[in-house]
């Protein structure tokens, strides 16, 4: 079935055609009809399979075909997302699909002044995309009215619960009409989110895509066993062997992100960092540079793993293995999106092996081990461009001279 055959407005079909949307992905094929029938939906699908369009297309169609129930101050659809970057991305997706309609989409998030956001809300909003913190602030300040909201969408809802928003989400629903439509979308789900989901929805349609394999088949997974202090040398080698590739590197903390950045800087590799310690304006600039390909390596904490769409990421490198097995899925989902192929390479230190086992259990299959021979390992350490480690190369050359006196004589000549 093609999008041109769906019972949606011609204005939406025109936008989809311009965006290159021809046929729905599995999650879109299964979710769109149910949402158009006004059913509640709880959908679990691999990251990178088109979840945003799966709810944006039918929601825009529903709102476009229905009359407003309130004045311009009323918000018709609320989309809750866990991070600033995801709020910006989903706002842009709604704007593009609703290009030829009269629907207004606004994204609100913390880290920036709230006054400009309040002015946009006062001008009239159909679809509000928001992070929980800023949304709750503006609801409590009465800048946001939800009494006529028709649709509530929670995207990456499990991550919002991880961030501690369970009570806030429950409280928010007291401001919403009981007869609203509720949609849950995520790549992973657990018992905690199931409890929340079933407390908010009514007889939901449950959609699960590839539940036995939570990661895209387009991604080639591998792991190499590397000592913690040697990881930077293997990252340097990977980048040097793939100079045109776009590489997204995940680390555990913002301190680690900055240390890896400095290590790459010493060897002449240009990179940028993304983590919670950066100002919002800096984070926006970082994403712009990486998405455009101006800078080909982004070093990030898990704040960038959830739902962010970045075109043409060739490699996702788990420099540090994630604390939670589910986060592996979200990290590697930044590559191999749609029909593109991608690579996920993990560096596993001896102390991280128990975490690797948890990840493999979650994936229900082992990750292919890249066997690094002893000579190969040593060569990687010795031939770094890091001036702080050139002493290793000198020591290796000295050892060769001791074993072969002819080398000494040649040098003396």
Convert the pLDDT of each residue in 202-214 to its tens digit: 888 888 876 455 5
Express as a percent the part of the chain with pLDDT over 90. 45
**CB count in 10 Å sphere of residue 72:** 13
Is domain 219-393 given the CATH code 3.40.50.300 in the classification?
A: yes
CA distance 334 to 330: 7
CA distance 115 to 134: 12
pLDDT at 338: 66
* Torsion sign over Cα 393, 397, 400, 402: negative
Listed by start position, the domains of the chain span 3-208, 219-393
Rounded to the nearest 5°, which phi and psi values hold at 409? Answer: -65, -40
CA distance 292 to 286: 10
Question: Would 3-208 and 219-393 be classified into the same CATH topology?
Answer: yes
Cα separations (Å) of 357 from 321, 343, 362, 363? Answer: 11, 20, 9, 10
Cα separations (Å) of 202 from 39, 182, 190, 197, 206? Answer: 8, 8, 19, 9, 11
Dump pLDDT digits (tens) for 339-356.
778 999 999 999 999 999
Confidence band for 311, pLDDT divided at 50, 70 and 90:
confident
Confidence band for 56, pLDDT divided at 50, 70 and 90:
very high
- Which residues, 6+ apart, have CB-to-CB distance to 109 below 8 Å? 83, 84, 87, 88, 130, 131, 134, 280
Q: State mean pLDDT over 232-259.
A: 94
Question: Which of the pair, 174 or 398, is modelled with greater confidence?
Answer: 174
Question: Which of the pair, 334 or 210, is modelled with greater confidence?
Answer: 334
Flag the least confident range among 98-112, 159-173, 348-362: 159-173
Report the candidate in 30, 59, 26 with the shortest Cα–Cα distance to residue 42: 30
pLDDT at 4 over 80: yes
Report the chain's mean pLDDT, rounded to a whole number. 85
Confidence band for 333, pLDDT divided at 50, 70 and 90:
confident
- Rg over alpha carbons for the chain, rounded to the nearest Å, is 24
Dump pLDDT digits (tens) for 369-378.
998 898 889 8
pLDDT at 408: 47
pLDDT at 47: 66
pLDDT at 396: 54
Class at the top of the CATH hierarchy for domain 3-208: alpha beta
- Which residues, 6+ apart, have CB-to-CB distance to 176 below 8 Å? 78, 146, 149, 152
- Adjacency order of strands within the sheet including 205-208: 105-108, 127-130, 77-80, 151-155, 181-186, 41-44, 205-208
pLDDT at 307 over 60: no
């Amino acid at each position: 079935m093609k999008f041109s055959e769906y019972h949606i407005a011609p204005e939406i079909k025109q936008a989809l055609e311009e965006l290159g949307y021809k046929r729905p992905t599995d999650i879109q094929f299964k979710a769109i009809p149910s949402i158009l029938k006004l059913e509640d939906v709880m959908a679990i699908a691999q990251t990178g399979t088109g979840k945003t369009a799966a709810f944006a297309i039918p929601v825009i169609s529903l709102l476009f075909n229905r009359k407003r129930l309130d004045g311009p101050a009323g918000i018709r659809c609320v989309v809750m997302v866990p991070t600033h970057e995801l709020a910006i991305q989903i706002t842009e997706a709604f704007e593009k699909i609703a290009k030829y309609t009269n629907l207004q989409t606004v994204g609100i998030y913390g880290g920036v002044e709230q006054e400009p956001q309040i002015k946009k809300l006062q001008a009239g909003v159909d679809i509000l995309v928001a992070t929980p913190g800023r949304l709750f602030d503006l609801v409590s300040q009465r800048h946001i009215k939800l009494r006529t909201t028709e649709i509530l969408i929670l995207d990456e809802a499990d991550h919002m619960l991880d961030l501690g928003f369970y009570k806030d989400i429950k409280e928010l629903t007291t401001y919403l009409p009981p007869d609203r439509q509720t949609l849950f979308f995520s790549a992973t789900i657990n018992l905690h989110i199931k409890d929340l989901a079933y407390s908010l929805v009514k007889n939901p349609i449950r959609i699960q895509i590839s539940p036995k394999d939570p990661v895209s088949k387009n991604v080639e997974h591998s792991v190499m066993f590397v000592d913690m202090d040697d990881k930077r040398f293997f990252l340097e080698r990977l980048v040097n062997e793939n100079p045109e590739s776009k590489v997204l590197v995940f680390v555990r903390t913002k301190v680690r992100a900055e240390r890896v950045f400095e290590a790459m800087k010493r060897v002449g590799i240009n990179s940028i960092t993304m983590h919670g310690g950066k100002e919002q304006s800096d984070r926006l600039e970082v994403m712009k540079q990486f998405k455009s390909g101006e800078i080909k390596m982004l070093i990030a904490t898990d704040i960038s793993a959830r739902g962010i769409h970045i075109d043409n990421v060739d490699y996702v490198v788990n420099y540090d293995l994630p604390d939670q097995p589910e986060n592996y899925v979200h990290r590697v989902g930044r590559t191999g999106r749609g029909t593109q192929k991608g690579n996920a390479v993990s560096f596993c230190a001896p102390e991280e092996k128990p975490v690797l086992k948890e990840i493999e259990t979650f994936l229900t299959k082992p990750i292919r081990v890249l066997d690094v021979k002893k000579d190969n390992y040593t060569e990687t350490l010795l031939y770094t461009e890091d001036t702080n480690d050139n002493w290793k190369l000198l020591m290796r050359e000295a050892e060769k001279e001791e074993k072969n006196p002819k080398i000494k004589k040649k040098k003396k000549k």
